[in-house]
């Protein structure tokens, strides 16, 4: 298909277009900042081989929290769900689930753990580093209720 010739009006409009379009001021800084904030930009350094940081999966294991009433428990569930939705919207959340009661323990209980205790739930996230995963975990609502969050890399 051949290009149709421009009519005089279109040619005039084309000639008035700027030849070089500048991006909005600060765009590059905002993009780089967003990439760093989400852990997708590798830190600067002489040994950096890739611009984008490789991502790994991390398990956030939620242990213990203060006991609550049924109403308070529902509010916590909603708060955790909202936090999980934020992580999903940012592309970090892979899976999440509340865990039921321990049904059995085979072998010795882990050091420092009472038999039959274990994590109350988990979030599986994707992050650029252990530090980035810990930073994500530090905002988890579970910490506000006396619980702890253990961050473990999945795989090597």
Give the model's confidence band at 1: pLDDT under 50 very low, under 70 low, under 90 confident, else very high. very low
CA 90 to chain centroid, in Å, comes to: 6
Helix or strand (DSSP H, E) at 146:
none
- Mean pLDDT rounded to a whole number for the chain: 80
Provide the token pair at 32.
Answer: 């780089």
* Angle value at C-alpha 20, between 19 and 21, nearest 5 degrees: 120
pLDDT at 80 over 90: yes
Phi, psi of 111 (to 5 degrees): -55, 130
Provide the token pair at 89.
Answer: 């919207």
Average pLDDT over every residue of 42-62: 70
What whole-number distance in Å separates Cα of residue 116 and Cα of residue 47? Answer: 46
pLDDT at 112 over 70: no
8-45: per-residue pLDDT in tens?
Answer: 888 788 777 776 766 678 777 787 777 767 666 666 65
pLDDT at 154 over 80: yes
Provide the token pair at 110.
Answer: 């882990």
Using a cut of 0.85, tell me whether the model's pTM lies above it.
no
């Amino acid at each position: 298909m051949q290009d149709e010739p421009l009519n005089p009006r279109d040619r005039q409009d084309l000639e008035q277009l700027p030849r070089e379009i500048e991006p909005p001021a600060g765009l590059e800084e905002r993009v780089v900042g967003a990439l760093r904030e989400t852990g997708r930009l590798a830190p600067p350094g002489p040994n950096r081989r890739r611009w984008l940081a490789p991502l790994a999966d991390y398990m956030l294991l939620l242990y213990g929290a203060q006991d609550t009433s049924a109403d308070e428990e529902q509010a916590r569930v909603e708060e955790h769900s909202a936090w999980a939705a934020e992580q999903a919207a940012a592309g970090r959340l892979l899976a999440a689930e509340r865990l039921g009661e321990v049904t059995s323990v085979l072998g010795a209980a882990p050091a420092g753990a009472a038999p039959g205790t274990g994590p109350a739930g988990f979030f599986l996230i994707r992050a650029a580093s252990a530090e980035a995963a810990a930073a994500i975990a530090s905002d988890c609502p579970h910490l506000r209720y006396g619980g702890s969050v253990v961050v473990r890399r999945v795989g090597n």
